[in-house]
Amino acid sequence: MNSELQFVTAAIVDDDKIFTYGFRKLTGIKGLFDEILDFCNGKEAIDYLKDPQNSTRLPDVLFVDINMPIMDGWEFNDAFEEIKSLLPKPIAVYNISSSIDIEDINRAKKIRS
Amino acid sequence: MSSEVQQFSGENAAHIAHFADTGVSIWRYNIDTREVWWSTGFYQALGYQKNDIECSYSVFFDYLLYYEDRQTFLKTTLLTSNSVENSAHIRLLTKHKGYQWFQNTTKQYITETGRFIYGILINISEAKTAELKAVENETKFAEIGRIAKMGYWQIDCRTMELELSREIYDIYELNPSLPLSVDELLSYFLPQHEPVIKKAIDDALQHCIPYDIELQFKTAKENIIWVKCKGIPVIDEYGRSKYLRGIFQNIDSIKKRGITMQSSINLLDDQNKRLQNFAYIVSHNLRSHAGNLKFMVDLFEETPAEHERAEIFSHIKTISQSLSATMSHLDEIVKMQAEISNGTKLLEFADIFTNVVSALQADIKMSGAHINTNFNNAPTVNYIPAYLESILQNLLTNAIKYRHPDRTPVINITTYKAGSEVFMAFEDNGVGIDLERYGNQLFGMYKTFHTNPDAKGIGLFMTRNQVEALGGYITVESAVNVGTKFTIKLV
């Protein structure tokens, strides 16, 4: 992810406004991404990704929280699997969570395999 | 020996003399002279030496013969008519082994030298003891069956003839004189269990497969009980079932205790899961706040611009507030546990409702909600006051918070009884919730399903915990855009 070579867009999907703010700020200081989109929950993110109007402004990498209202991280993963093949470019998805619930960890491992 | 022989006379003498030598115990009584003679075998049978006891009628009758057997002895010996053989079981005192059972066979002879009664004694103590033991064992066996509520049965596989012990009739609550067929016996099982036992018996008869199953059963007096049915095939030389035998036991009390225990285990299991869930959630929430706090503090240090610092600091303030809110939720939960020890009181639903409504007056007024109550069918309940208040308040708050934007909120609260149980139904016409998606999370902590900024995800978690802490349960029915109905079994 070298910003000098390529224009990199990230998106953060999290209902925690403070984390979103901090993420933006920190990655800004480090100069990791050229643009950062944010969505409050999974549904907003999926709606954005699905909309053909946004096809030229899709993120390259997604950071998705697990615990969110409306559509949580798990549901987002399922929904993303369905639309993945229709997207014009590959998008990397990372689930982020502070959960230490072993069931959540195993579930995340299963999806990533 | 020769002196003994001389004492006999007549044609029988030779025979008797012959026996006297073989050690058979013989006695003779002269009815006219009351003279008594005992053979060597007689002394041996009783364990005496010749000079140990005096050979006389009175010694025999008063000393050797057990007093209870005197009547029997007289009837079968002295009072018999001529030449009729008589036999009786009597007890005689032996020298070393106490009283022993003897079979006493007697016959009267009238000869030219006088009238005699001859008797032969055979020690039958062993047989008698075995017989008594058998009777005792049978009684014990019956008693064991009665105490264990267990009966024995056997089917002859060829004739399908059935043998049943008395206890089986007792378990069936049937008259023991009633003859029963296998099919009749099976018809007492509950409809869902009858095919199970039928198949087990068929398999045992056809394929020699033993069985051991626990089933429900309705007795002749319509009592439904749990029974243990165990059957073992007994095979012939060709390996086919010859008999099917087994036990039939009333295990109702054990089984019911087991079922109660299982439900206690399930309850504990549920509580345990909830506790673990609670621990995860609490740690998750504390962690995310703690993580954010550290994050912001680090950013604050790295950011030189004053206006940006001010913004970061405002976030730090928000985190601090969230942390205190989380802590106060924890306090509430801990307090909730403590409330249980304060005990229950007889509460009027109407009183509690009035308190809750006055506390929520502003919200109710703002929303324009219509609240209908009907507590007539169950006006009171024994409950922890703080719990009932909290339950009503949470449900009411939720109903108002998630009211439908297009219509006036209508809330119906009804209480009713079912047997000794008290229920409360709480119904609204709000936005509803998709239970297919959120059903299993609805009562979870910090689970929110709407973008409503007031949603904290603590209310229903508390409500369920309060309800379940007092042994009740809460269920929910809902349709999106129609409304939600909570049904609570309070006690």
To the nearest whole percent, how much of chain A has pLDDT over 70?
A: 89
pLDDT score recorded for residue A88: 83
Least confident segment among A31-35, B339-343, B365-369: B339-343
For residues B266-287, give the mean pLDDT: 74
Residues B347-384: tens digit of each pLDDT: 999 999 998 998 888 889 999 999 999 999 999 999 98
Please report the pLDDT score of residue B447 as a whole number: 65
ipTM rounded to 2 decimals: 0.73
Dist CA B151 CA B130 (whole Å): 25
Q: What pLDDT digit, counting tens, does each position of B33-51 carry?
A: 889 999 888 999 999 998 8
Within 8 A of A101 by CB-CB distance, chain B residues are 280, 284
Percent of chain B exceeding pLDDT 90 equals 42
| B298-324 pLDDT per residue, tens | 889 888 888 889 988 998 998 898 888
Phi, psi of B88 (to 5 degrees): -150, 155
Torsion region of B5: left, alpha or beta (phi above 0 gives left; psi -120 to 50 gives alpha): alpha
Class level of CATH domain A9-112 = alpha beta
Interface test with A, best of B448, B449, B480 (most A CBs within 10 A): B448
Tell me whether residues B288 and A19 touch, CB distance under 8 A.
yes
pLDDT band at B80 (very low <50, low <70, confident <90, very high): low
Q: What is the pLDDT of residue B1?
A: 38
Position B20 scores a pLDDT of 62
User: Which tokens hold the place of B120?
Assistant: 């032969």
Residues 28-87 of A with CB under 8 A from B: 29, 40-41, 67, 69-70
Strand bridging mode A35-39 / A9-13: parallel
Per-domain residue ranges for chain A? 9-112
Cβ distance B312 to A25 less than 8 Å, yes or no, reads: yes
* Averaged pLDDT, A64-69: 83
Q: What is the mean pLDDT of residues B228-253?
A: 91
Whether residue B277 is predicted with pLDDT greater than 90 in this model: the reply is no
B73, burial (CB in 10 Å: exposed 0-12, middle 13-18, buried 19+): buried
B410 has pLDDT over 90: yes
Confidence of residue A71 (pLDDT cuts 50, 70, 90): confident
pLDDT of residue B455: 58
Cβ-defined contact of A22 to B296 (cutoff 8 Å):
yes
pLDDT in the model for residue A112: 54
Minimum mean pLDDT range among B237-251, B267-281, B314-328, B418-432 = B267-281
User: Which run of H or E residues covers position B345?
Assistant: strand B345-348
B439: CB partners within 8 A, 6+ apart: B476
Q: Residue A103 class from Cβ within 10 Å (0-12 exposed, 13-18 middle, 19+ buried)?
A: exposed
Q: Is A26 at the interface with chain B, CB within 8 A?
A: yes
Helices (H), ranges, B7-122: 12-22, 40-46, 57-58, 70-77
Tokens 């005096």 — which residue?
B54
Q: Domains (ranges, CATH) in chain B?
A: 2-123 (3.30.450.20), 132-250 (3.30.450.20), 342-489 (3.30.565.10)
Res. A3: pLDDT tops 50:
no
Quick check: B129 pLDDT over 50? yes
Least confident of A69-78, B203-212, B402-411: A69-78
Mean pLDDT of B223-227: 93
- Of these ranges, B36-40, B421-425, B457-461, the one predicted with the greatest mean pLDDT is B421-425
Report the distance separating Cα B198 and Cα B213, nearest Å.
Answer: 12
Contact of B471 with B491, CB cutoff 8 Å:
yes
Instruction: State how far the Cα of B423 lies from the Cα of B343, in Å rounded to an integer.
Output: 20
